[in-house]
Amino acid sequence: MTRWLDATKMTLTVMIYLAASCFAAGQAASGTRHYFFLSDQRIITVELINEQKSILNYINLGDSFEIIQAPGLLILDAEGRPYHGHVFEVEDAAHPSDRFKVTELVQPDRFVGYNIWGNYRFQAAPEKVFLKVGSRIVELEPVSKSDFNLLASKIGNLDLVMENGKQMVLMAGFRQGYGTIYGSGAAEVQQIEIHFPDLEIVAPVHLQGAQPELPSSFAHLPDPVVVELSARVSRSGALSDIEVVNGIAPRLDQLARETARNTWRFLPAISKGKVADIQLTFNVVFRRGAPERPRR
């Protein structure tokens, strides 16, 4: 197995600010959404599960290797806002640092299935799903749950030993294609291509994190009450070496550090197409508790 480069060489520095509004913004998809693509070269399914996870199944029916990358999963909501996959989850990883990867090479006549973690906090209903496969862009077709289950049963009938992809899908019971595939630079997807990220440097994705409650003795402080921290985000997304960059008072600084250590979770950074360690600077914003009722 290829090992990552030495962590000290892969360490990057970026700065992100996560305020209270970031935690509440967006909404999960209303139930699982299903998308499907079928040709005599490939079969792709995408299921949008929740605000952090989607499921990709990919069958390469062609005679060449295909490269797919987790950030190549692009979802547009009903108002045209983009959302991306970030990393593939590696099941049964031998070490936490091997839990995520960015790129998958799919062999001919090979099936792969992955959880793709990312930020799917949709601000409007998800509508269109695209997957970048090498230099091509695949647009998947939305299907209902019942149709998806029917299509999945037909996929189970595929005979991957057959060399003729068209004959293979016909024998499995498929009578039509699903979705559309475009070459890079095609006029139909020029506005779509700008949404795919450059994988030279991609910041970590924030998954979850609590806001500490502001102690009543600090209620006089104006909003926002913010402690700026720095930490190392590992290739497994874990936080370590948490330090205060700009603090307010020892008690608040300690609360911010403990909250980040115990509740904040990230997906790792991407550097040159691989997951990487990174030094991150971020804000912990305190929330105010409910005002006390006057005593009678």
pLDDT digits (tens, 9 = 90+) for 46-71: 999 999 999 999 999 988 999 999 99
Q: Which residue has the higher pLDDT, 20 or 28?
A: 28
Residues near 261 by Cβ (< 8 Å), separated by ≥ 6? Answer: 239, 242
pLDDT at 288 over 50: yes
Q: What is the pLDDT of residue 3?
A: 29
pLDDT at 1 over 50: no
Query: What's the number of domains the chain is made of?
Result: 2
Domain end: 158, 175, 193, which one?
193
**Comparing 29-33, 47-51, 54-58, 188-192, which segment has the lowest mean pLDDT?**
29-33
pLDDT at 4 over 50: no
Same domain, 243 and 108: no
158 in a domain, yes or no?
yes
Same domain, 263 and 238: yes
Same domain, 105 and 210: no
pLDDT at 176 over 80: yes
247 in a domain, yes or no?
yes
293 in a domain, yes or no?
no
Query: What percentage of the chain has pLDDT greater than the value 90?
Result: 68
Q: What is the pLDDT of residue 21?
A: 36
For residue 167, give its domain range: 26-193
Q: Which residue has the higher pLDDT, 223 or 11?
A: 223
Same domain, 125 and 32: yes
Same domain, 131 and 61: yes
